[in-house]
Amino acid sequence: MFSTPDSRAAVYTTTALIMLVGPVNFLLFRVMFDSFGAPYAFFVSQGVNFLYCVIGGVALYPLMWTWDGWRLVPDYGTIDKGMRALPQRKFMLMAAMDCAGTFLAAMGAVHTPGQYQTLLNQSLIPCTMAASVLFLRAPFSRNQYFGAATILAGAMIAISPSFMDSSAAPYSAPPGDGSSDVAAWVATCLYLASNIPMALSAVYKESKFQEDDVHPLYLTQAVSIYQFLFGFFLAPMQVTNLFLFIGPRTQCTRGLHNVGLLRLLHALSRYSPASRARAA
């Protein structure tokens, strides 16, 4: 597969960098959402999406445009006309799935303990394998199935305390009250569910771009822009507090909380750390 020593060295170096950067990324993800808290989870997620667009643009656009005297003209060398003519709906669908995944992760990150997050992130592997089998008919060996099942079982064991033991929850409720348990397992399940759209997006990318020659920077930037735009459509999910119980009502959602489920969620929110801190 790797015909030259240089190609093997490049693969090994890249793998080592991924192993180094990956844990740092997970740690910073946790610290970031802990710093801003649940009320700002949506805005933090959108801020990250915006930075993707900025950083991707700095890397991509010098390859797409060049200066001809005082004029900025297209450069069809690296990013050719064929890439630019690809249907945008492909990028939009990938962006929609990535956006759903990052949003679910953002909504669940604050109240999902860091030790859970590390293992739950690994459940993306069996999710991607399952999607590959369903949609690509990809073959896997018994050892690969066993490894994926082991990862998934570990993830289930990791989140089980959120369902059964209030002392294992990220925070505890007053004696005799199980509301914090509700918040803990809802947040943990949201974080785990984020792997489903992420896995579907990965499989879709593989299936749709097997034949198309797409530069990774062009693919990443197109998806990042659409993902940032789609993120605004998810803003009502944060405003109405459907996913996390983050404290008292705001003026813009005061009327909405009189509606069935939202009223119940607000009642549960009284036991959030922010609410108890204000009461103290």
- Specify the pTM: 0.72
Q: Is residue 76 part of a domain?
A: yes
* Counted domains in the chain: 1
Q: Is residue 253 part of a domain?
A: yes
pLDDT tens, per residue, the chain with 280 residues: 445 666 778 888 888 888 888 778 878 888 888 888 777 888 888 999 999 999 999 999 988 888 777 888 888 888 888 888 888 998 999 999 999 999 888 888 877 877 778 778 888 888 888 888 888 888 888 888 888 888 778 777 776 765 565 444 444 333 333 445 556 677 888 888 999 999 999 898 888 777 777 888 999 999 999 999 999 998 877 665 444 444 433 333 343 333 334 444 444 455 455 555 555 5
Domain of residue 68 covers 25-279
Q: Is residue 8 part of a domain?
A: no
Q: Is residue 6 part of a domain?
A: no
Tracing tokens 């249907």 back to the chain, one arrives at: 87
Q: Is residue 162 part of a domain?
A: yes
Tracing tokens 């003026």 back to the chain, one arrives at: 251
Q: Is residue 203 part of a domain?
A: yes
- The kind and range of the H/E element at 65 are strand 65-68
What residues are paired with 72 via a beta bridge?
67
**What is the rounded distance in angstroms from the CA atom of residue 241 to the CA atom of residue 248?**
10
Q: Is residue 14 part of a domain?
A: no
Q: Could you write out the DSSP letters of every residue in the chain?
A: ---SHHHHHHHHHHHHHHHHHHHHHHHHHHHHHHHH-GGGHHHHHHHHHHHHHHHHHHHHHHHHEEEETTEEEE--SSS-HHHHTS-HHHHHHHHHHHHHHHHHHHHHHTTS-HHHHHHHHHTHHHHHHHHIIIII-----HHHHHHHHHHHHHHHHHHHHHHH-GGGSSS-PSTT--HHHHHHHHHHHHHHHTHHHHHHHHHHHHHHSSSS---HHHHHHHHHHHHHHHHGGGHHHHHTTSS---SSPPGGGTTGGGSHHHHHHHHHHTTSHHHHHHH-
Tokens (6 digits) for 22: 């990956």
Query: For residue range 146-192, what is the model confidence (pLDDT) as tens digits?
Result: 888 887 787 777 767 655 654 444 443 333 334 455 566 778 888 88
Q: Is residue 10 part of a domain?
A: no
Query: For residue range 232-267, what is the model confidence (pLDDT) as tens digits?
Result: 998 877 665 444 444 433 333 343 333 334 444 444
Angstrom distances, CA of residue 5 to CA of 14, 49, 231, 266? 14, 37, 43, 61
